[in-house]
Amino acid sequence: MGLYDRDYAYDREPGFHIEAPKSLTTQLVLFTACVYALQMFIEGFTSWFRLPDTWYLQPWSCFRLLTYGFLHDPNDFQHVLFNMFVLWMFGKDLESKYGRREFFWFYLWSITFAGFVWAVSEAATAQPSVLVGASGGVTAVVALFALNFPHRKILLFFLIPMPMWIAAALGLLWDLNLAMSRSGNIAAIAHLAGALCGLYYYKFGFSPARWLVDRFSGIAPRAKPKLQIHEPTDRDSAANERVDEILKKIQEHGQDSLTWRERRTLEKASQEYQKKRNE
């Protein structure tokens, strides 16, 4: 059975279809929008999940290091609108490049790290403060995008065309100025921490969040081998179904979404197909 003999390789039937978006980036945007709606209509919702700078005094509230990143100021619609637009604009290409699963853990880790660094920076001030917003994670996405596609042209403020690396550098300088002056109500430190996450991941390809999940799930992280999939000829039905599932996953979510066990399965199948072809 060849790849194009499989059911999912055919075009969809004509007609009207309703289905959930398959893009993780779009799902993150929609989820954040739903959370914002809950903030608008449920009194006290924001205070349950926002991040105070003194969260460490109540260690059981460490979940706020993540949840704050899906909240926004209920009185500032432009806050959530801008963050989600930027995430949608730059996240799709990164999701395609790194895979759905890898991008997901990168985004969550960036939010967590940005919130942690912000809380540490605020510990020295006497005035209590709280943090909401996806800006730390979104800045990480922007930084990683700029590092991967530095010469991609964008329209700054929808008006000024320029390469992505220049736009990212201008944003970084703006955040540095705000962080040093500590002016306004923008958490520039969280932005800078997010940018650092993007740079670190680009250089080392390591996401602590993904590493922790792999450890606790019993999957030992290892280097991703290069895959070379050859056309199958004849194999038993159980192996056939397993390879079909993995190939379908690659088609829907990209090669980087595979676990090391799935990659190993394809490697073994590929070796068997080659051996049979040479017989």
CA-based diameter of the chain, in Å?
A: 77
Helix (H) or strand (E) holding 119: helix 100-122
Mind listing the pLDDT tens digit for each residue in 112-163? 999 999 888 887 776 778 899 999 999 999 999 999 999 998 877 778 788 9
- Band (37; pLDDT cuts 50, 70, 90): very high
143 contacts 199 by C-beta, under 8 angstroms: yes
Kind of pairing between the strands at 51-52 and 130-131: antiparallel
143 contacts 132 by C-beta, under 8 angstroms: no
- Band (2; pLDDT cuts 50, 70, 90): very low
Alpha-carbon gap, residue 249 to 12, rounded angstroms = 17
What's the one-letter identity of residue 47?
S
Its pTM stands at 0.69
Burial class (CB in 10 A: 0-12, 13-18, 19+), 249: middle
Domain positions in the chain: 24-216, 223-278
DSSP string, 36-85: HHHHHHSTTHHHHH-EETTGGGSGGGTTHHHHGGG---TT-HHHHHHHHH
Task: Output the CATH code of domain 24-216.
Answer: 1.20.1540.10
CA distance readout (Å), 189 to 17, 214, 275 = 44, 29, 56
**234-263: average pLDDT:** 71
Percentage with pLDDT > 90 across the chain: 36
Mean of pLDDT over the chain: 80
62 contacts 71 by C-beta, under 8 angstroms: no
Alpha-carbon gap, residue 121 to 123, rounded angstroms = 6
Q: Is the dihedral of CA 172, 177, 178, 182 positive or negative?
A: positive
164 contacts 155 by C-beta, under 8 angstroms: no
pLDDT at 6: 44
- Band (225; pLDDT cuts 50, 70, 90): very low
Alpha-carbon gap, residue 14 to 9, rounded angstroms = 15
